[in-house]
Amino acid sequence: MTKELFVKDIMAKPTTIAKSAKITEALDKMLAEGIDPLIALNNNSVVGTVSREAIAEKLGSKQNTAIAPAAIHVASVVKEDFTSVYPDESVNVLVPLLQQYKLVVVYDSEHHLIGQVTAIDLLRKYPYTGSLRDALDKAVTIEADERVVHLRRRMLDDAVSRFVVTENNKLTGIVTETDVAVAMRKFREAVKDQHQDHQIRNLLVKDIMSAPLLSLDIGAGYQSVVDLMVKKNISTVPVLDKGKLAGLVTRRSLVRAL
């Protein structure tokens, strides 16, 4: 690196949510500010994080069908999935940390919360000299006409958080935990609990997926991927090689390749 960077050079303002807030408020904030996860606070102290994936799991659980989404508190989905650094530490310490955690909290010398760093904050300023092949994750596909209940089961059983959607052998979109969280909230707010078990079986992947599919060629540069992620506020980009799906590049897979 030509100039040494420190955590304070790349950290962002912390995006927080009270532990007592509703998960609908948390989801709205994540979508509006393009952040995942949020830092959860209790009496101004960091107690963990709340993610879109955790909200999707909560809203998709049969145990919560009788509870309105706006009545579920952030406290029920908080996870202690974060670590911390100080602003004057070298930016290099963030690489292994963000390979393990989605978010790094920044404290000052008096342990006050002053910032946060996510993968995209690091990727904007940290140089990467490899190719997209070095950062590829396996791409898993699902048919557009598959039921969302089956999608949810595959997400849980196979620990897969995003699928490329296909229809008639063509790539048509992508579906992630964000799409599931948003869809389950809308569904739960629109359908009375006694009808949910039946009607949710009519909800198909194509009804909730993000489309059209935004993809890049395997020969695209690192900066092109980061720019697309920032511009479109997305965390995953399918990569094509001679027109065929070669894999996925995510913010975290790029960090792992650093």
pLDDT 10s digits, 72-96: 999 999 999 899 999 999 999 999 9
Mean pLDDT across the stretch 236-254? Answer: 95
The architecture of the domain spanning 132-257 is Roll (3.10)
Note the pLDDT of residue 127: 76
* Amino acid identity at 78: V
Confidence of residue 129 (pLDDT cuts 50, 70, 90): confident
- 40-63 pLDDT, tens digit per residue, is 999 999 999 999 999 998 988 877
Mean pLDDT across the stretch 132-145? Answer: 94
Note the pLDDT of residue 195: 61
C-alpha distances (whole Å) from 223 to each of 57, 129, 170, 174, 239 are 33, 10, 27, 22, 14
**Domain extents in the chain:** 7-125, 132-257
CA dist 108 and 10 (Å) reads 15
Full-model pTM = 0.89
The architecture of the domain spanning 7-125 is Roll (3.10)
